[in-house]
Structure 1
Amino acid sequence: MRTFRWVRLVAGAATLAVVGWRLGAGPFLDGVRAINGEALLAATVIGLVTTVCCAWRWTIVARGLGVRLSFPVAVAAYYRSVFLNVTLPGGVAGDIHRGVSHGRDVDDVGRALRIVGWERAAGQVVQAVLTIAVLLLLPSPVRGSMPLVALVLVAAAAAVVVVGRARAGDGRSRWARLRNTVAADLRAGLLHRRALPAVALASVVVVLGHAVTFLVAARTVGVTAPPSRMLPLALLAMLAMVLPSVAGWGPREGATAWVFASAGLGAGRGAATAVAYGVMVLAASLPGALVLVAGWLPRRQPPLPVGRIPLVVRRDGAADA
């Protein structure tokens, strides 16, 4: 596990270094300089909507797997998770912290971590479906290969449905227990008739929110291409954000530079857009820093209610407070 973590960090740092070597520091500086108050305000509002939807999705999956999770607590924890993801190496530290903290609260860390994993996986599946649908309809550098990709995705979705509907086995071997656990989690947490529509809706809003933030970042750095041309590029760049990174940096800049260059918009402008997007996402996650600091503060003990002061009775019958 430690080796895999170092591989993730090295891969993300190497990607960022290659982009900086090929394009220089100019696009990075341009992306930071282009940020203005309107862009930060838009990112904060969109970030609020996407975070609330993510927290809602988390509570739905948790309820399906039989774990309690209140919505206000979920929103605060998700803000903290996003802040940690965009400030710590690896990009997943916040999700792990969110799962472990929730698990300690409910005395079941393993199940809480599974809930976080399924919740994030559901969002990525919906993102992949939306991305393929857009890339099939709108022109992009990868449009020619999208039918094959769509076929693979359909096959994978069918396999998930088959596993989710599979009957539990005897559970004697470790693989049988794992299969039974996965099937039970899918049926209860994601494929249940009450969970699936809500999870899908929340995930669609989240993906569209991130895409709109990306479009705002592109417009902020001076890209004037129409949204119909920019949306496929935004979704392609967002797919790279799940790859190993350094607090979100690295694959995002490399992928955005590539797709912008392939679309004739310039690799430098693409890198600047990715940098602006990263700064906007960081600004939108700052409420998570307040949640993190609040968790470090000592909690005040509630005062004793009036009339409940304990009395000590002396042998002579008198009472001392």
Structure 2
Amino acid sequence: MKKTLLTYGLKLSVAGLLLYFIFSHIHPGETAAALRAASPLYLLIAVAVQILCNTVASCRWRLIMERLGFHAPRLFYLRSYFKGLFFNQGLPSSIGGDGIRILDCSRIGSAKEAFFGVFIDRVVGLAGLLLLNIAALLMSHKLLPPQVEYPLLLILVALAIGLLMLFLLRKFAFFAQGKYLGFLGNLSERYFQVYSSPSAISLQLGLSIFIHLLSISAFFMNGLAVGLDFPLHVYLALVPPVVLLTILPVSLAGWGVREGAMVGFFMLVGADKTKVLAFSLLCGLTTLASSLPGLVIYLTQQGKPQVKEAEEISTQASE
């Protein structure tokens, strides 16, 4: 418990310091004015699109878990996915959103396999983001200065190659030994189990790319809400690197990191930094709002015996 509170406190401090630094260089009053002037219609559309994005993402996760031998109704995965999203929004919990999903699946199958399923879901989601960003940067060549574009492309390609290597590690006996190397070997085996056919790979990558298109469309709507009138392809090129940076577990739900990165990248294309900061804050609030169904699901499930819940899931899956 003490370790959890310490980690939470450190992340909260990092988020607070980053936001303080950003607001010290961008007038808070102007940012507040931009937030007040934001279009409610575009904001509502952004939340709706993000909820749709999360729903499709739960379907992708279900397909992965089924390949690993988990059989549960679609509603089970939808509920668990939204609960995980809510717990990822900076809650002081020792169990993050991924932990919630693993815990849910461990009630109907192996906890170890549940862990691999959630991990693979994260990996294929990252792969879709990388491929989409690489394609967007190539199609929007010279959008960014060369000293930014080329290193960014190099990093993205290196990450994509790293993910591809996960698929091949199972072929090397070296990765069948030891605690950490053995984990990578086991992960590679499950990775192959999920993507052992071209159709499975195509479907999963297609879903991942579609999910990120929906997510970036929500960013696009938030941008329109504050008057950032850039075409969609600009968001496709600039938003994914920001998303990658917010994955780093240094602040609560990416607050502060997202705002600094958004301002940095969008200023490279001539955007007004006050509007960009307002846009980034709205993106964070949109993500939070779209996760609120997870809170409702979590509260309605409280007090329900776990054994009874698992029995209901098994019964529904067999029907």
TM-score by length of 1: 0.81
Counterpart check, 1:255 vs 2:261: yes
User: What's 2:82 paired with?
Assistant: 79
Within 2, Cα distance between the matches of 1:191 and 1:12?
41
Q: Which protein has the larger Cα radius of gyration, Structure 1 or Structure 2?
A: 1
CA deviations over 1:15-44 (Å, ceiling 9, x no partner)? 223212222423552454244431243123
User: What's 1:109 paired with?
Assistant: 111
CA contact (8 A) 1:30 1:221 kept: no
Q: CA deviation at 1:245?
A: 2.5
Q: CA deviation at 1:49?
A: 2.0
Q: CA deviation at 1:125?
A: 1.9
User: What's 1:130 paired with?
Assistant: 132
The verdict on how the C-alpha distance between 1:181 and 1:77 changes in structure 2, with shifts beyond 3 A counting, is same
Q: CA deviation at 1:200?
A: 0.9
Counterpart check, 1:23 vs 2:39: no
Counterpart check, 1:183 vs 2:188: yes
User: What's 2:279 paired with?
Assistant: 273
Within 2, Cα distance between the matches of 1:179 and 1:93?
22
Within 1, Cα distance between the matches of 2:29 and 2:94?
25
Match among 216, 224, 228 for residue 219 of structure 1: 224
The structure carrying a bigger helix percent of its residues is 2
User: What's 1:52 paired with?
Assistant: 55
Q: Name the aligned partner's letter for residue 33 of structure 1.
A: R
Q: CA deviation at 1:236?
A: 3.1
Counterpart check, 1:118 vs 2:120: yes
Counterpart check, 1:228 vs 2:233: yes
- Point out where structure 2 has 5 or more consecutive residues left out of the alignment: 309-319
CA contact (8 A) 2:34 2:274 kept: no
The share of aligned pairs that are identical, in percent, is 21
Q: How many corresponding residue pairs?
A: 298
CA deviations over 1:95-140 (Å, ceiling 9, x no partner)? 221212221x125223212211210121012101211221122112
Counterpart check, 1:63 vs 2:69: no
Q: Which structure 2 residues correspond to residues 129-148 of structure 1 after superposition, within 5 A?
A: 129-138=131-140, 139-141=143-145, 142-148=148-154
Q: Name the aligned partner's letter for residue 196 of structure 1.
A: I
User: What's 2:242 paired with?
Assistant: 237
The verdict on how the C-alpha distance between 1:19 and 1:183 changes in structure 2, with shifts beyond 3 A counting, is same
RMSD: 2.9
Counterpart of 1:66 in 2: which secondary structure? coil
Counterpart check, 1:39 vs 2:45: no
User: What's 2:314 paired with?
Assistant: none
Within 2, Cα distance between the matches of 1:6 and 1:87?
11
CA contact (8 A) 2:102 2:115 kept: yes
Counterpart check, 1:246 vs 2:252: yes
Match among 196, 202, 221 for residue 201 of structure 2: 196
Within 1, Cα distance between the matches of 2:245 and 2:76?
30
Within 1, Cα distance between the matches of 2:16 and 2:168?
39
